[in-house]
Amino acid sequence: MESIAANLLQGFHEVTGYMYPNEYELHWGLLIVLYPYLTGLVAGAFILASLERVFNVKALKPVYRLSLLSALAFLFVAPLPLLAHLGHPERAFEMFLTPIPNRRWRCSASFTPGT
């Protein structure tokens, strides 16, 4: 842990100016970047497959199976980096169970006149 802190601070040695001590650590790193990359892969492969089946692009016939299967395979892998990034992945499902009380629509309501 001491070495992690040392590495982090060393990385910022050349940075001039001030930042809050708690913000030296980069919080949304590679794992978060990996997620849109994987979802992009899924979407791309699926579009490729749909070109053959829906739009009858005969040239893509040989890659139809491969693209559809890779879309399916990566679909299950895509959320894993997000889970791995969490401090407590075992509590991740709580996000779907937690009602966020009024917050989003209260924000929008505050902009509408008369409320």
Partner 1 sequence: MNQKESQAVNRREFIFACKRALPLAGLLFFPLSATDLILAQENEKYNPTEHNYAMGIDTHKCIGCGRCADACKKENNVPLEPIFFRTWVERYIIAGNGEVSVDSPNGGIDGFPEIKGDKEALRTFFVPKLCNHCANPPCVQVCPVGATFISRDGVVLVDEKYCVGCRYCIQACPYGARYLHPEKKVADKCTFCYHRIVKGLLPACVEVCPTRTRIFGEVGVRSSPLSRFVRFNDITVLKPSLNTSPKVYYAGTDGEVR
> Using an 8 Å Cβ cutoff, are 49 and 67 in contact?
yes
Taking the alpha carbons at both ends of the chain, their separation in whole angstroms is 51
Minimum distance of partner 1 from residue 30's CB (angstroms): 14
Q: Which is nearer to partner 1, 98 or 115 (CB)?
A: 98
What is the chain's Cα-based Rg?
22
Given the rule CB under 8 A, which residues bind partner 1?
A: 1-2, 4-5, 8-9, 17-25, 27-28, 85-89, 91-92, 94-95, 98, 100, 103
Minimum distance of partner 1 from residue 115's CB (angstroms): 17
